[in-house]
Structure 1
Amino acid sequence: MSQNLVDLHCHILPGIDDGARDLNISMALLRKEIQDGVAGIVFTPHFHYERISVEDFAAKRRAAFLQVAKAAKETGLPLAAKLGAEVYFTTALPSLDLRALAFAKSNYILIEFPTTCHPAGIDETLYAVRQRGYTPILAHVERYPFVTEDPTLLYNWVSVGCLAQINASGLVREGRTAHWLLKLLEWNLVHLLCTDCHSIDGRPPNLKAGYSKLPTPIARRLRRNSIEVYLGDELVPPEPTKPQYRFGRWV
């Protein structure tokens, strides 16, 4: 797996969230992942504490996964996959069954913040999750306005043991977002590159294209990080640099 790609954040499972609507779309997404050289996938459907119990979510996730696994076997597609979740932030998170939400056979858990507001209680909740022995992976950190406005927030979370993930689409589209992502990488505030794919046309698998936009040493490091997380190994990232605001911009 050392020369292959790993996608730790995707919405390929059918009919469980706003990702693939049915099995046909799931298989099209899976074929594109494999064409791009993806050898390992963590399926991470959305989990909202306020909408569904952990038990019901796990049952629906397993049923959707079994559909994909059966179809992959019948069509001869190689499938090395694990189950996880993209957990919507709630201060109740530390009290939930985190084992059922974390990436299978690991202590990594993918957490998504709202994009419309800066929720209260982030620091305390992440601390409590870490105290339970889990490593939070902060999903698509480029999408949160409060982080863009003040990246020292991300620095603080990374400094205490959280990991940060970005979507390949931000690099592929280039422009302002890509420039910002490269700054975050320069500060060692990003550790993982994923697709967050939902559909073939709107939000497709694009991990190969995303890696192609990165300097080779950074791409190599992020690829290795994803493999370590997939395998459940402990990831020890480099020391982050705290962004400084000078002359109207972050440096």
Structure 2
Amino acid sequence: MIDVHCHLLPEVDDGPRTIEASLQLARRAVEEGVTSIVVTPHAYHPYFETRHHNVALEVAQLQQRLDEEGISLTLYVGQEIRIFGELVEALESGEAHSLAGSRYVLVELPSQSIPAYTEALFFQLQTAGYIPVIAHPERNHELALHPEKLHHLVSSGALSQVTTSSLTGQFGRQVRELALTFISNGLSQIIASDAHNVEHRDFNWRAAKQEVVNELGEEMWEQHLHFTEQILANKQIAMNPPRLPEKNWRGRWKW
């Protein structure tokens, strides 16, 4: 299994504070069935100053340590990039990293809003040959209130990534229902852990699988695993057109 969103590097952002904590988190990944991780520290985030980090070097150093410890994980370079106007230029210059060197770029929106320039920036990314992947849209306040905005972005060529912990209810019932709704309606094509530590932000892959299989079926789970493989292989993801979510008579999302 491949995880394309994980904060595994020590002493970089709000992930592991020590190398020992990184190793502990890596061991937990293996226990959960993960074989490959795209390491995605925060980049261009207002709360984390990470520009002085050489992500490629630090991922290589962590890979060496994992190999020495006998932890069977293959690491790839990536970043969770907070949306900003010069993102295309940063990618082209090598200052910012796509997911495993692919055309796919993990983009984080502010938790409460969608910047007015988002659609224009996504168009610039796609024109330059990249595909934006919106990180955890189910935890964005504006998208929760207006899922039609996510529908528009995905219909225009973006993808989005739901978090395993959202599916297991760690962020509350409403976030869980929205995550399942986004998946079932083709608004979110990727599932990833966004793991930070074993204490509070674990991988939760097995529990997330159970939720998706129980609610949406085994085929939906397998489809999402395939989409993640396509990202790592830098291949085009072929998906059905997204649908606009609907609510039932009780005001609950339908999936």
Residue 104 (structure 1) aligns with: 100
Residue 152 (structure 2) aligns with: 156
Structure 2 counterpart of 1:155, which letter? H
Task: Give the Cα–Cα distance (whole angstroms) in 1 for the partners of residues 67 and 153 of structure 2.
Answer: 40
Structure 2 counterpart of 1:202, which letter? H
Residue 11 (structure 1) shift: 0.3
Residue 203 (structure 1) shift: 0.5
2:185 paired with 1:178: no
Q: How does 1:191-206 map to 2 (within 5 A)?
A: 191-206=189-204
Structure 1 counterpart of 2:138, which letter? E
State how many pairs are aligned: 244
Residue 128 (structure 1) aligns with: 124
Residue 63 (structure 2) aligns with: 69
Q: How does 1:53-64 map to 2 (within 5 A)?
A: 56-57=52-53, 59=54, 61-64=55-58
Please give the secondary structure, in 2, of the residue aligned with 1:118: coil
Mark the CA change 1:136 to 1:66 in structure 2 (over 3 Å): closer, same or farther: same
The answer to whether the 8 Å contact 1:163/1:191 transfers is: yes
Mark the CA change 1:244 to 1:81 in structure 2 (over 3 Å): closer, same or farther: same
Deviations 1:196-243 (A, max 9, x none): 011110101212221121121111111111111112111112111123
Question: Relative contact order (alpha carbons < 8 A, sep ≥ 6): 1 or 2 greater?
Answer: 1
Residue 247 (structure 1) shift: 6.5
Task: Give the Cα–Cα distance (whole angstroms) in 2 for the partners of residues 19 and 52 of structure 1.
Answer: 13
How well do the aligned residues superpose, as a CA RMSD in angstroms? 2.1
Identity among equivalent positions (%) equals 25
* TM-score (norm. length: structure 2): 0.88
Structure 1 runs not aligned, ≥5 long: none
Residue 81 (structure 1) aligns with: 75
Q: 1:214 aligns with which of 212, 215, 221?
A: 212
Structure 2 runs not aligned, ≥5 long: none
Task: Give the Cα–Cα distance (whole angstroms) in 1 for the partners of residues 228 and 84 of structure 2.
Answer: 25
